[in-house]
């Protein structure tokens, strides 16, 4: 099993985030920015995920697939994180996961 060290470069961390987000998508769940940072770094890592999620957002856009980053939402409004370069279809994807997200533990 591959592990991610704390000094891994953004592309390697993007692979880690991709795996987490694909799991959430399969289970029709969202994850908060804070929750994703805790899953990846085992602590709150404010401000470090934007570049990592940017890799995923651009990959999705370049390959014409739904923006997986739309599953990363704010704690209060549960809307897709607005700093990421995703199109308006992101909110449609979030809405599809919204029912399951209500039961999510706000990881």
Domain edges within the chain: 10-101
Distance CA(38)–CA(46), nearest Å, equals 10
Walking along the chain (107 residues) 10 residues at a time, the average pLDDT comes out as 66 92 95 92 84 93 93 78 52 47 43
Please answer whether residues 101 and 32 qualify as being in contact, where contact means their C-beta atoms are separated by less than 8 angstroms.
no
Distance CA(21)–CA(14), nearest Å, equals 10
Has this prediction a pTM greater than 0.85?
A: no
Please answer whether residues 40 and 17 qualify as being in contact, where contact means their C-beta atoms are separated by less than 8 angstroms.
yes
Check residue 48 and give its pLDDT.
83
Most distant CA pair in the chain: distance in Å? 36
Please answer whether residues 33 and 72 qualify as being in contact, where contact means their C-beta atoms are separated by less than 8 angstroms.
yes
Give 36-40 contacts, CB < 8 A, sequence gap 24+.
36/72, 36/107, 38/107, 39/107, 40/4, 40/13, 40/16
């Amino acid at each position: 099993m591959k592990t991610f060290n704390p000094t891994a470069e953004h592309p390697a961390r993007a692979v880690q985030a991709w795996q987490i987000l694909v799991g959430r998508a399969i289970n029709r769940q969202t994850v908060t920015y804070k929750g994703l940072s805790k899953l990846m770094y085992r602590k709150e890592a404010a401000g470090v995920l934007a570049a990592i999620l940017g890799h995923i957002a651009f990959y999705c856009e370049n390959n014409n697939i739904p923006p997986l980053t739309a599953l990363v939402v704010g704690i209060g409004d549960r809307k897709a994180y607005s700093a990421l370069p995703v199109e308006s279809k992101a909110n449609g994807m979030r809405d599809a996961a919204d029912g399951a997200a209500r039961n999510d533990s706000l990881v």
